[in-house]
Amino acid sequence: MAENKKKLLQGNEACVEGALYAGCRFYAGYPITPSTEIAEGMSVRLPRVGGKFIQMEDEIASIAAAIGASIAGLKSLTATSGPGFSLKQECLGYACLAEIPLVVVNVMRGGPSTGYPTGPSQADIMQAKWGTHGDHPVIAVTPSYVQEILSETVRAFNLAEKYRTPVIVLYDEIIGHMREPVTIPAPGELDVVDREKATCDADDYFPYDERYEIAPLAPFGAGYRFHVTGLNHRKDGFPTNDPRQIDLNNRRIMRKIDNHREEIWKNEETFLEDAEVAVFTLGSTARSARFAVNKAREAGIKAGLLRPLTIWPFPDRAVTELSKRVKAIIVPEMNLGQMTLEVERCSKKADVIGIHRVDGEPITPAQILDVIKKHK
């Protein structure tokens, strides 16, 4: 077997590697700190494999072009940060309702507004869930390491193609700009899911066929002439005012994710078997938390870590089960309590203690260790 290539990569560069590994062949973007390196990387790498890169006139146009390319059959990516992610929300809702696969990377920086462009945050966790209007399905993956940005970007493409929905890769500026050794996986080493092809006769093809949980999506120009709209629609894609049809479709797009939460959830558990106090966190904060938990163990404290790599759909079950076993769940996050709210919702018995920081500095292991010691 060929030896895998090892490279020293920045998080955003690892995202480029992951996208290309997953078969991404279209990127549309707009410059924004701290995600610009993804656009720069894609502009160099995509043409080498015959892929398309375009710098659009704004963030809205970028995601719109990526959706257009996806309906034309290419795996598509766009990347941004805080304010740009806000601008993309309308199109994100379109992709949810029209069920068009897409990956959107949001490298989180300090907010609100222009905020702190070069500083990290984890304050877009709720924007990722509720940013676009209306009830809609959301999948968001949350890597903590540069290597993981690569593998989670691949997983994001797989989930997008499998569930015909936009998937968000959510990580903070710290790991976006951090450099770590990364092993580029050999072809075949990671699963790559391609879009299910439509094989039926054109007359029998319905882009939102209720006979399927997720109907195959035929690309434009393949002989299946169908209609796509952001209006509530029927199985044939045409708009409807029929309350029954609207209800059916709105519930189906949620159900297609809800029914597969087990497959979409991904958690890493460290020292949780006998833990009495647990930390729940993601992204770069999970790195501080792991350090703090190790230190606590050295001091004889039974601490553990639950790290979600899928934050949406929220890992309800894992948190609920954990809350029955530990005295306290500590939730460090670089925002003022977005995940803490969710953990409180799911926690049955344990106390939930947030650690919040919005000064553009990372949450340190010492900060977390102090709270662990208070709640052991």
Partner 1 sequence: MSTAAPEKKEKVVQPFDYNKYLRPNKLPHIWCPGCGHGIVLKALLRAIDKAGLQKDNIVMVSGIGCSSRTPGYVDFNTMHTLHGRALPFATGIKFARPDLKVIVITGDGDALAIGGNHFIHACRRNIDMTVLVYTNATYGMTGGQYSPTSPVGSTATTSRYGNIEPPFDTCEMAKASGATFVARGTAYHAIELEKTIYDSLTHRGMAVVDIIDACPTYFGRMNKFKSATQMMEVIEKENTVNIKQADKLPPEKLQGKMLRGILHKVEKPEYCQQYEEHVIKKATSKE
- Residue 74 vs 322, nearer CB to partner 1: 74
Q: Does 246 bind partner 1 (CB under 8 A)?
A: no
**For residues 330 and 280, what is the distance between their CA atoms, to the nearest angstrom?**
6
- Residue 65 vs 286, nearer CB to partner 1: 65
- Residue 73 vs 360, nearer CB to partner 1: 73
Task: Classify strands 139-141 and 310-312 as parallel, antiparallel or unpaired.
Answer: antiparallel
Among 7, 40, 90, 184, binds partner 1 (CB under 8 A): 90
**For residues 83 and 80, what is the distance between their CA atoms, to the nearest angstrom?**
8
- Spatial neighbors of 68 by CB under 8 A, at least 6 apart, are none
Torsion of CA 80, 82, 86, 92, to 10 degrees: 40
Q: Does 197 bind partner 1 (CB under 8 A)?
A: no
Among 3, 48, 211, 273, binds partner 1 (CB under 8 A): 48
62, amino acid identity: S
In 57-209, beta strands by DSSP E: 76-80, 102-110, 116-120, 139-141, 166-172, 179-184
**For residues 94 and 82, what is the distance between their CA atoms, to the nearest angstrom?**
19
- Spatial neighbors of 271 by CB under 8 A, at least 6 apart, are 293, 297, 302, 303, 304, 305
CB distance 210 to 178 below 8 Å: no
Q: Does 242 bind partner 1 (CB under 8 A)?
A: no
- Residue 130 vs 220, nearer CB to partner 1: 220
162, amino acid identity: K
Instruction: Give the binding range for partner 1 (CB under 8 A) out of 22-30, 120-128, 303-311, 338-346.
Output: 22-30
Q: Does 217 bind partner 1 (CB under 8 A)?
A: no
Q: Does 216 bind partner 1 (CB under 8 A)?
A: no
Among 14, 15, 16, 64, binds partner 1 (CB under 8 A): 64
Task: Classify strands 52-55 and 76-80 as parallel, antiparallel or unpaired.
Answer: unpaired
Q: Which tokens is 214 given?
A: 């997720």
Supply the minimum distance, in Å, between the C-beta of residue 109 and partner 1.
24
Query: Tokens 């890597």 sit at which residue?
Result: 143
- Spatial neighbors of 251 by CB under 8 A, at least 6 apart, are none
Among 28, 154, 193, 296, binds partner 1 (CB under 8 A): 28
Supply the minimum distance, in Å, between the C-beta of residue 161 and partner 1.
15
Instruction: Give the binding range for partner 1 (CB under 8 A) out of 23-31, 190-198, 268-276, 296-304.
Output: 23-31
List binders of partner 1 among 70-89 (CB under 8 A).
Answer: 70-74, 76
Supply the minimum distance, in Å, between the C-beta of residue 48 and partner 1.
5
**For residues 358 and 365, what is the distance between their CA atoms, to the nearest angstrom?**
16
Among 221, 255, 341, 345, binds partner 1 (CB under 8 A): 221
Instruction: Give the binding range for partner 1 (CB under 8 A) out of 128-136, 224-232, 288-296, 344-352.
Output: 224-232
Q: Does 57 bind partner 1 (CB under 8 A)?
A: yes
Q: Does 12 bind partner 1 (CB under 8 A)?
A: no
CB distance 329 to 343 below 8 Å: yes
CB distance 117 to 153 below 8 Å: no
How many Å is the Cα radius of gyration of the chain? 21
Among 7, 36, 40, 60, binds partner 1 (CB under 8 A): 60
Q: Does 65 bind partner 1 (CB under 8 A)?
A: yes
Among 6, 210, 238, 263, binds partner 1 (CB under 8 A): 238
Supply the minimum distance, in Å, between the C-beta of residue 371 and partner 1.
45
Instruction: Give the binding range for partner 1 (CB under 8 A) out of 43-51, 125-133, 178-186, 331-339.
Output: 43-51
Q: Does 19 bind partner 1 (CB under 8 A)?
A: no
Q: What is the DSSP letter of 327?
A: S
Kindly list the residues in this chain that would bind partner 1 in the complex (CB under 8 A). 25-26, 28, 44, 47-48, 50, 52-54, 56-58, 60-62, 64-74, 76, 90-91, 94, 219-223, 225-231, 238-239
